[in-house]
Amino acid sequence: MAVNEKKVAKTRTKWDRNARCYDWMTGLMEGKKSRAWYAKVWSSVEGPHVLEVGVGTGRSFPYYPQGTAVTAIDLSSGMLAKAKKRARELGVGVDLKQMDVQKLDFPDNSFDTVVAMCTFCSVPDPVQGLKELRRVVKPDGRIVLLEHMRHDGKILGALMDLINPVVQMLGPAINRRTLENIRKAGLEIETVENLAMGGILKFIIARPGE
């Protein structure tokens, strides 16, 4: 499937700009609860070969399991520059690459687990990106996601739709129907758990469908 390069370039530019204050903004929004969320995600990883999509500035590095070989990608060079610095400071061995999740440069069935945290709110074509995760994860592997999405409630969901165009100019989309997108990509949802904000933030484990 062809990728819309104009949308990719626009997304890259936005997150290059946001990289300067990303840690401060994310810390302010997530608070101390994020530590438990990150730990939950990374304790769910299986197998030695792991891909992290949307690594950002490397806030997940302290939670990487011992004995895993992690490849981590991001679309933004600004984010990756900060991630490389953090990896050096923490002494974390991670293979960092600049890459678009919509067209991953990895062979089929490359990874035991793929992890993404608050990433598919920013991918221009989230279904295409999720299809790529399905392609590169092993048939018996798993995809572990921590994602915020559109609220299920009629009123709040409609409000999120209304303000999304303004919010998305500065940051991520807030009205993605991520559970639907996961199924559209041919993935089978094994676990869904509401973590915060009335179910807007969810923990998800999915596996490649038949």
Residue boundaries of the structural domains of the chain: 5-208
CATH fold group of domain 5-208: Rossmann fold (3.40.50)
DSSP labels, 86-106: HHHHHT--EEEEE--GGG--S
At residue 34, the pLDDT reads: 85
Task: Return mean pLDDT, the chain.
Answer: 94
Is a pLDDT exceeding 90 seen at residue 1?
A: no
The Cα–Cα gap between 169 and 195 comes to 26
**pLDDT tens string 56-98:** 999 999 999 999 999 999 999 999 999 999 999 999 999 999 9
Among 189, 42, 49, 68, CA closest to 112 = 49
Provide the pLDDT confidence category of residue 151 given band limits of 50, 70 and 90. very high
Percentage of the chain lying above the pLDDT 70 cut: 98
Query: What radius of gyration do the chain's Cα atoms show?
Result: 16
Among 98, 128, 105, 88, CA closest to 4 = 128
- Distance of CA 7 to CAs 12, 134, 142, 160, 193, Å? 9, 22, 28, 21, 31
At residue 23, the pLDDT reads: 83
At residue 29, the pLDDT reads: 67
**pLDDT tens string 9-43:** 999 999 999 998 888 878 766 767 889 999 999 99
At residue 27, the pLDDT reads: 73
Residues ≥6 apart with Cβ < 8 Å to 81 = 19
